[in-house]
Each structure stands twice: as structure tokens, then as C-alpha cells.
Structure 1
Amino acid sequence: MKYALAKFRVYLLGSGPFVVYTDHASLRTAVKSPHISQRMARWLSFFAEYDFRVEYKPGRLNVVADALSRRPDYAVKTADANRIGVESVSAPSSSLIDDVKAAYASDADAKKLLSYASAPSGEARRKLAPHLRARAHRYRMHEGLLLYSTVDDDVIRIVVPNEYDLRMRIMYEYHDALRGASWS
């Protein structure tokens, strides 16, 4: 929990109260215990910076816990495409790209991000919702497509609007259909 709070610190500090769901039942009572170790005292002093409450959620119901709190040095190693025999990777078709661009018009967040990315300014940034404003520097526009890059890697991703049919089409074409790669 300490690692996850530190990792998401910039998003959590000053954001108002939030709930931490954990499958570690003893964390609920740790703050109320009169006898704590020095390490626990340091952790409690760290936790005091945040406005949160702890709720117990059994591990089988807390399916995203590992993904959110996993330390990077325990991360699953990614495979090198050439070592596993991927001979080609397909690029989005022009019709799919056109559909993505058209769908931006019906997605409120995408419209605001496009406006910001096409002419970045303090005023355009202030118009963004807080969850977008924190990452606004990671967005840019290229040939009408909204692109996003993460801190951890140099991979640039196409932002897909929140349109169910379009997302299902992309999932089918690039995940379900085996036309994009050939395995040896």
C-alpha cells in the first residue's frame, strides 16, 4: 500500500478523500493499535499526508490490486518480438484511422484534448478536466490523430475515442484476428 500511495502521489495529494481497498485485513486496525513498531510509526506518518480510509476487500474480489501496486522490479518481463518469431506487425488501415478521427467528434475528452494538442496554451489546459490536465504534456497531435506517450517507454499510442463499436472493431482486428502476425 505504501508503494502504491507513493507511486500515485501526484494524483492523490489534494484530490480529496479516497478509499484504499486491500485484502490485508490487519491494515484496517493498524492505525488504532496502541502498540506499533518503529517501521509502522514511519508508515503511519507517511499515510497521514493522505486523506483516505481503508476498506477490506477479499483478494478474489480485488482483481486490479496487483496491477496497481506491483513494484516495477517485479514486473513481468516483456518478450522481444523477434525472439518469439513475430515476422510482421500490422498497422491500422486507412479506413480505421478515418473512423478513429471521425469518432473524436463524439468524445468530449478527445475533443478537449485535440483542442489543447493543436494549440497548447494555459487557457486550453485549464479547460481540461483534472484527470486530463495532469497528463496533458503527454498528448500531441499528428495528421489529425491524437497521440499519447507514457513516461516508462518511448512507445507512442493512438488515443481511441470512447466509442464501443469502434473499440470492439479494433479489438477484433488486432487481437482476435490472426492476420497481423505469424508465429514460428
Structure 2
Amino acid sequence: MEDLSAAGPGQNKTRGTGFRTRSERRKRAKLRKSRSGTETLQAVSAGQTQELETTVETLSVLTRTNTGLQYKKMKLENPPTLESELTSLPVTSWRRFARDLHDGHIEQICILSDVERMKCEAEELKQLVAEGVDALSAKSKKERFDEQSWDSLKSSPFYEVLREYRDVLPDDIPAELPQDKGVQHEIDLVPGTKYCVTRQWPLPR
């Protein structure tokens, strides 16, 4: 049986070097997870420790909820900051995206939008609100009424029928409801119809 304690200096040096080499290989790439959930990559090189910390940003994002769209605070880990980083992201199919989103595998979503177009639309909406709802409504009613004139309805297939009942569709908007002409309306139901509720509504005077 060989006595290890009697080994020569060269054997001790080789054996000790082997143990140090394996230990360094185990330390060379080590992933450590802290209590806060932030993952830190610890790399040991030439006896120096280099740590790559995860960048976390808190943004105000627009999310869709059961009650509609709402803004809320969300923490994003390592969000892309450059155009090259955004365009170099891997591409996935919409089916896989929907499945992963439903299963909870996707935690962060970045939506690219045209900032200038959004600003223009916001300014237009702000201008419409500033003009006033009443003025805009009156203008829209006038335009719709002009579009429904007899000249504009000549191309309609129902033009002849409309001309036959032109007294029901006057050129000027009446200030009150038309007079009761004593016309009784009836609805013929298909024999065997069930759960039909009828009620006599009084005509306006």
C-alpha cells in the first residue's frame, strides 16, 4: 500500500495543482440568485470577481384590464434602449406568441409606435374637444342632411319609393312630430309563434 505522506515534492505539487484547477473551473462561471430575485452573473478571472447586475426600470405602461385600459407602474428588466437592440430581437409567430402570453411565459412586451403620428392625433383630438360638442354636432347634422337631399338620392335603387312617400320625408326638418293620419299598423305572425308580447303604444298628439 502506498503511503501518500511519503510522496515526493513533485507529487504534492501536481496533486495540489489538480485540486486548484478543478476548483477554479467550478468558480469560472457561477450564477448566483440573491434573495430579492435579481440574478447576478459572477465570473472569476485571475482572482478578480466581476458582477453583471440586472438593470431594472420602472415605467408607466398602458395595460388592458377587465374594466378597460388603465395606466399602472411596471418594472422592466434590461429593456432595450437602442434601435439596433429592438430590431435584432428574435421573431416569433403570432400563434406561439398568443400561446406563450396565455400561459404566462411572456413577462415583458415592447410596442413600437410612431411618436409623431400619436402627437398629431392627440392635437387633433384636443382641437375637436376645444371647438365644443354642440358646434361640432350642429355642423355634422347639416352635412348629413345635405348628403341626403333628393339630388344625392337619385342613384339609390329606392329613389322611386322615396319619391312616392315624399310627404313623409320633407325637405325641411319639421319642428314637431307629424300629425296622426289614423293609419293602423298590423303585424302578421307565423302560425305557432310563441312568447310574443304585444302592447298598444299611443301615438303622439
Q: Taking structure 1 as the reference length, what is the TM-score of the superposition?
A: 0.18
Which structure is higher in strand share? 2
Which structure is higher in helix share? 1
Q: Give the structure, 1 or 2, with the largest relative contact order (CA under 8 Å, sep 6 or more).
A: 1
